[in-house]
Chains A and B, each alone.
Chain A
Amino acid sequence: MRTGNAAGQGGAAAQTAAAVPDTVARAAATPDRAQPYAELGLTGAEYARIRQLLGRRPTDPELALYSVMWSEHCSYKSSKLHLRQFADKAPVKGDGEGGGTLLAGIGHNAGVVDIGQGYAVTFKIESHNHPSYVEPFQGAATGVGGIVRDILAMGARPVAVLDSLRFGPADAPDTARVLPGVVAGISFYGNCLGLPNIGGELAFDPCYAGNPLVNALCVGVMRHADLRVAAARGPGNKVILFGARTGPDGIGGASVLASASFGGGEAGKRPSVQVGDPFMEKLLVECCLELSAAGLVAGLQDLGAAGVSCATAELAAAGGSGMAVSLDLVPLRDPSLGPAEILMSESQERMMAVVAPQDVARFTQICARWEVPVTVIGEVTGTGRLEMTWHGEVVVDIAPETAASQGPVYDRPAARPAGQDALLADDPATLPRPAPGPGVLDTLLALLGSPDLAGKTWVTEQYDRHVRGDTVLAAPEDAGVIRVDEQTGLGVALATDGNGRYSRLDPYTGAQLALAEAYRNVAATGARPVAVTNCLNFGSPEDPGVMWQFAETVRGLADGCASLGTPVTGGNVSFYNQTGGLQIHPTPVVGVLGVLADVRHRLSLSFGRPGARVVLLGRTRPEFGGSAWAWVAHGHLGGRPPAVDLAAEQALAGVLATAAEEGLLTAAHDLSDGGLAVALAECCLAGRAGCRVSLPGDAFTACFSESSARAVAEIAPGAEAAFEALCGRRGVPLSDLGTVGGDRLEVAGCFSVPVADLAAVHGRVLPALFG
């Protein structure tokens, strides 16, 4: 059955191992056996390092384990040096209850933020880009499933999801394959799981044609006492695997798929995409929460990328005491799986818990009540080693921290791309502008009818935004708002933003603009922004130009968060978003969490009180670099992105939150892509109401500049003086625009258009494209 010398065997370690189990003893006896480290995504130097750490060649299962744990996706080996800034520059939060104090920060499954009244919130955004391109439906579905388990692992009840999506040109044939599949996958998984989808983004650009971005955010709520840590402590405690059985799906998802560029033959990677079962995930959610509430969980970890490898190594490394696991006990969907495949499988809907021996019976009972399969596969030891057996022989014997936290770290070369100066110099100020009057209206209609700015109902209607009954605001509002406490009205607001065009022009500024926009979006609902998560989507880190973009982005985001006093609580890096030489724009997607003391004071973007005054907050400068106008009207990308003024953002957010609490406003909407004209149109469309405004200065600049730190607001009748005084005190510039009323959007001396016409242009784009 077993041969003593497996040298020279071809194929991946996984296949070899199934046929001929490789053991620690055999590895010691056959030091020169060739191993397929390159096929598993490891470099020669990394393989040599593993041999050095172990003092022998790794067994096939060990090689499988290191290959996934040291993958870019799991180890952050190219980004780690930069990401440290998020902790190093983190603002000190000492303002007590509800002020956004971090209860758990970076390095946990997700960061945890105090929101007051004994509640804490955990939230995180993650990419599932590569799987979603290869198999859009399952790729996107399991992206939702994975981030939900991260939140669950912290002890929180997941309460909402958002998704940030980017695709190639809206009319490209491949977008017609990828987008409907991604949306259907998110709809299928999130709806069946019972989580309201409250917002996100949808954007298009040729740079995402071969590399769509599918970033999913989940937010969860817990009482402070429910916070769980992922650590295996207490020798004798049992290691329990529960949830779905392990199958041959998603093998190498983190290494082979997520940590390499595409270069053709993606169909062959389909087995690396996982297959989701949201029904099992729903049972797992309820089961985990009941287990936590019963106090039966000493440590909890989700199984995501790198599956059993990651869960065991991270739990053991965090606990510091060691773990022994029998891989024979892992329940399998396919009995032919060998130890290496079991370690690499990314089968979904699985969790791992550390449980005191006396609690195992009650733990099992609760799992049975939810019909969740449960198996004790090992226990915590005092050896400091992670040991695994297979058919009675030791196949893994490593120091867990070598896999979990001591992987390779690369200081990759970064260089500002040669073409960057020319790009910045290519100022859109020289582009032809529309004729005054009707030309401005035509431009507005072109923007509203462009896929990026068009109505997203075709997508959002496929998502359940009502389930759980706590959704106070959802798309197309600036941020999603979820009620946390029905008695007090405490709630949270969440928004995600990113702008690849700005970041392509200037990644430092682009990152801060993404942060500022998400911050402003949250503020526009009346919430006070308190914390940040991020998903950093980039090309190959082996390209110095990409690495420069990445370094600048992290530096910009860390500096921005320090200025705004909003710490980064966690996030995700997705590299290798490139196909051949075509790489995506650097695309940091920033998620901001805000707190509303009482969601009844939230602000919608809908205009709706005839006669109410409409004002513009903030200062408008002629800024068109990377703007929607330059892109839609001219296909132009160049110049400098809008200037960032974080002090102005803070002042604006303070005004909006205070005004909401004091009932001074009845609507507010942030200004971003497409500027004031698009923002006014969106307020009218949402409220099915018209408005009459007159704009100061040059109409084109007033309508389409994308200067930051701005918002429009509808003042509550009678509160005009109080609101003006508030803006005056906080130093926020206020310009009177006009009043709400009628059924047309009228800009004095410029144009007048029925809101119904705007609705037709805005609404027909996605249905026309996607059916």
Chain B
Amino acid sequence: MTARVGIVTFPGSLDDRDAARAVTRAGGEAVPLWHADRGLHGVDAVILPGGFSYGDYLRCGAIARFAPVMAGLMPAARSGLPVLGICNGFQILCEAHLLPGALIRNAGLRFLDRDVRLRIESTATVWTACYQPDQEITAVLKSGEGLYLAQPATLARLEDNGQVVARYRDGSPNGSARGIAAVANEAGNVVGIMPHPEHAIDPLTGPGADGLGFFTSVVRAMVPR
């Protein structure tokens, strides 16, 4: 019995196979979910992968948020289903109001692909339980609209509640408020992260294997030993 982690493919999703590979490496079973399919096929957790869903037309994540699969996902997420949104998936979660805040164009107005050092600020989420508090990891930032933004009151609440999950260690390369790279909902089951942990699971193809912890965290949480 292993954790079944659904990975949604929207039209324009790009990092779905990478997310699936990361789940498999972490010992889970990757289950493909199709955007037009309302059901979640009984998965234990869901990943919304990176990419350009619907070409990022209108606004990043704004169209995907209305896909049929989201109709099933949104209530499940509110009921505690673990959901991880990576990059475009983070944008979709914000558009769906499953996470607070918004992501807008990078401060430099250019797409950035860069290895970044992150500090794990919260290990109280189902996606970061395997990390040590304040552990520093390297992941891959690759986005054009990765600047995280929220109202000052919202940012203060995130900090107070421990909902800031990861922060850029060496200053925010895209201008994100308070250097925020990842946030969680209050319950800690829904996490959005702008850099890609799934591209940091193997030194052969990425900057190391630090990102694997996100996937082992959820796989272990779903299969109690």
A interface with B by C-beta (< 8 Å): 184, 187-188, 191-192, 194, 277-280, 282-283, 370-371, 460-472, 483, 486, 599-600
- Chain A residue numbers with a CB within 8 Å of B52 are 191-192, 194, 278-279, 282
The CA-CA distance from A580 to B27 in the complex, in Å, is 64
- Supply 5 A–B pairs (Cβ within 8 Å), ascending by A: A370-B11, A466-B196, A469-B15, A471-B205, A472-B205
- Chain B residue numbers with a CB within 8 Å of A467 are 14-15, 18, 50, 142
- Chain B residue numbers with a CB within 8 Å of A462 are 110-113
Residue of B nearest to A457 (CB): B114
User: Interface code B38-75, partner A: CB below 8 Å = 1, 0 otherwise?
Assistant: 00000000000011101111000000000000000000
- Chain B residue numbers with a CB within 8 Å of A282 are 11-12, 14, 52, 55
Residue of B nearest to A192 (CB): B52
If A279-B54, A469-B15 are given as contacts, then 19 extra A-B residue pairs at C-beta distance below 8 Å, sorted by A number, are: A191-B111, A192-B55, A192-B56, A194-B14, A279-B56, A279-B57, A282-B14, A460-B113, A463-B113, A466-B113, A466-B142, A466-B205, A467-B15, A467-B50, A468-B18, A469-B18, A469-B205, A470-B205, A486-B21
Q: Does B120 contact A (CB under 8 A)?
A: no
Residue of B nearest to A191 (CB): B111
Q: Does B17 contact A (CB under 8 A)?
A: yes
B interface with A by C-beta (< 8 Å): 11-12, 14-15, 17-18, 21, 50-52, 54-57, 110-114, 140, 142, 144, 196, 198-199, 204-206
- Chain A residue numbers with a CB within 8 Å of B11 are 279, 282-283, 370-371
B80 vs chain A, min Cβ distance (A): 30
- Chain B residue numbers with a CB within 8 Å of A371 are 11
Q: A192-B55, A278-B55, A468-B18 are in contact. Are A184 and B142 (CB under 8 A)?
A: no
A243 vs chain B, min Cβ distance (A): 14
Q: Decide if A184 touches B205 in the complex (CB within 8 Å).
A: no
A365 vs chain B, min Cβ distance (A): 13
B203 vs chain A, min Cβ distance (A): 10
The CA-CA distance from A276 to B21 in the complex, in Å, is 31
A688 vs chain B, min Cβ distance (A): 13
- Chain B residue numbers with a CB within 8 Å of A470 are 205
- Chain B residue numbers with a CB within 8 Å of A283 are 11-12
Q: Decide if B205 touches A461 in the complex (CB within 8 Å).
A: no
The CA-CA distance from A460 to B205 in the complex, in Å, is 17
The CA-CA distance from A469 to B16 in the complex, in Å, is 10
- Chain B residue numbers with a CB within 8 Å of A184 are 110
- Chain A residue numbers with a CB within 8 Å of B140 are 466
Q: Decide if B113 touches A279 in the complex (CB within 8 Å).
A: no
Residue of B nearest to A602 (CB): B204
A384 vs chain B, min Cβ distance (A): 41
The CA-CA distance from A371 to B198 in the complex, in Å, is 28
Q: Please give me the 8 A-B residue pairs with the lowest Cβ-Cβ distance, nearest first.
A: A279-B55, A194-B14, A469-B18, A192-B52, A466-B199, A462-B111, A187-B111, A464-B142
The CA-CA distance from A102 to B11 in the complex, in Å, is 35
The CA-CA distance from A194 to B206 in the complex, in Å, is 16
- Chain B residue numbers with a CB within 8 Å of A472 are 204-205
- Pick the contact of B198 from A370, A464, A469 — CB < 8 Å? A469
The CA-CA distance from A188 to B111 in the complex, in Å, is 8
The CA-CA distance from A278 to B54 in the complex, in Å, is 10
- Chain B residue numbers with a CB within 8 Å of A278 are 52, 55
Residue of A nearest to B207 (CB): A466
Q: Decide if A469 touches B21 in the complex (CB within 8 Å).
A: yes
A190 vs chain B, min Cβ distance (A): 10
Q: Decide if B206 touches A466 in the complex (CB within 8 Å).
A: yes
- Pick the contact of A600 from B55, B196, B204, B206 — CB < 8 Å? B204
Residue of B nearest to A370 (CB): B11
The CA-CA distance from A426 to B15 in the complex, in Å, is 54
- Chain A residue numbers with a CB within 8 Å of B56 are 192, 279
- Chain B residue numbers with a CB within 8 Å of A461 are 110-114
B126 vs chain A, min Cβ distance (A): 24
The CA-CA distance from A471 to B140 in the complex, in Å, is 13
The CA-CA distance from A599 to B57 in the complex, in Å, is 37
- Chain B residue numbers with a CB within 8 Å of A191 are 52, 111, 142, 144
Residue of A nearest to B18 (CB): A469
B196 vs chain A, min Cβ distance (A): 7
- Chain B residue numbers with a CB within 8 Å of A464 are 111, 113, 142
Residue of B nearest to A462 (CB): B111
Residue of A nearest to B56 (CB): A192
- Chain A residue numbers with a CB within 8 Å of B110 are 184, 187, 461-462
- Chain A residue numbers with a CB within 8 Å of B205 are 466, 469-472, 483
- Chain B residue numbers with a CB within 8 Å of A370 are 11
The CA-CA distance from A192 to B112 in the complex, in Å, is 13
- Pick the contact of B51 from A194, A277, A486 — CB < 8 Å? A194
- Chain A residue numbers with a CB within 8 Å of B14 are 194, 282, 467-468
The CA-CA distance from A191 to B50 in the complex, in Å, is 11
The CA-CA distance from A184 to B112 in the complex, in Å, is 11
- Chain B residue numbers with a CB within 8 Å of A466 are 113, 140, 142, 196, 199, 205-206
A370 vs chain B, min Cβ distance (A): 7
A445 vs chain B, min Cβ distance (A): 26
The CA-CA distance from A655 to B144 in the complex, in Å, is 42
Q: Decide if B18 touches A279 in the complex (CB within 8 Å).
A: no
- Chain B residue numbers with a CB within 8 Å of A463 are 111, 113
Q: Decide if A277 touches B111 in the complex (CB within 8 Å).
A: no
The CA-CA distance from A188 to B18 in the complex, in Å, is 21
Residue of B nearest to A469 (CB): B18
Which residue of B11, B21, B196, B206 has the most chain A CB atoms within 10 A of its CB atom?
B11
- Chain B residue numbers with a CB within 8 Å of A279 are 11-12, 52, 54-57
Residue of A nearest to B13 (CB): A194
The CA-CA distance from A279 to B205 in the complex, in Å, is 25
B20 vs chain A, min Cβ distance (A): 10
B152 vs chain A, min Cβ distance (A): 30
A59 vs chain B, min Cβ distance (A): 38
The CA-CA distance from A446 to B112 in the complex, in Å, is 28
Q: Decide if B199 touches A469 in the complex (CB within 8 Å).
A: yes
The CA-CA distance from A188 to B12 in the complex, in Å, is 13
Residue of B nearest to A280 (CB): B55
Q: Decide if A469 touches B113 in the complex (CB within 8 Å).
A: no
Q: A194-B14, A466-B206 are in contact. Are A277 and B55 (CB under 8 A)?
A: yes
Residue of A nearest to B20 (CB): A469
Residue of A nearest to B14 (CB): A194
B118 vs chain A, min Cβ distance (A): 16
Q: A277-B55, A279-B12 are in contact. Are A599 and B113 (CB under 8 A)?
A: no
The CA-CA distance from A194 to B21 in the complex, in Å, is 16
Residue of A nearest to B50 (CB): A467
B58 vs chain A, min Cβ distance (A): 12
- Chain B residue numbers with a CB within 8 Å of A599 are 204
The CA-CA distance from A370 to B114 in the complex, in Å, is 31
- Chain A residue numbers with a CB within 8 Å of B57 are 279
Residue of B nearest to A372 (CB): B11
- Chain B residue numbers with a CB within 8 Å of A187 are 110-111
The CA-CA distance from A463 to B143 in the complex, in Å, is 10
- Chain B residue numbers with a CB within 8 Å of A486 are 21
- Chain B residue numbers with a CB within 8 Å of A188 are 111
The CA-CA distance from A302 to B61 in the complex, in Å, is 30
Residue of A nearest to B115 (CB): A466
- Chain A residue numbers with a CB within 8 Å of B196 are 466
Residue of A nearest to B173 (CB): A461
Residue of A nearest to B206 (CB): A466
The CA-CA distance from A461 to B11 in the complex, in Å, is 25
B199 vs chain A, min Cβ distance (A): 4
Q: Decide if B17 touches A468 in the complex (CB within 8 Å).
A: yes
Which residue of B14, B18, B56, B57 has the most chain A CB atoms within 10 A of its CB atom?
B14
Which residue of A184, A277, A466, A470 has the most chain B CB atoms within 10 A of its CB atom?
A466
- Chain A residue numbers with a CB within 8 Å of B12 are 192, 279, 282-283
The CA-CA distance from A460 to B114 in the complex, in Å, is 10
A182 vs chain B, min Cβ distance (A): 13
The CA-CA distance from A188 to B198 in the complex, in Å, is 22
The CA-CA distance from A370 to B54 in the complex, in Å, is 11
The CA-CA distance from A282 to B51 in the complex, in Å, is 11
The CA-CA distance from A187 to B204 in the complex, in Å, is 24
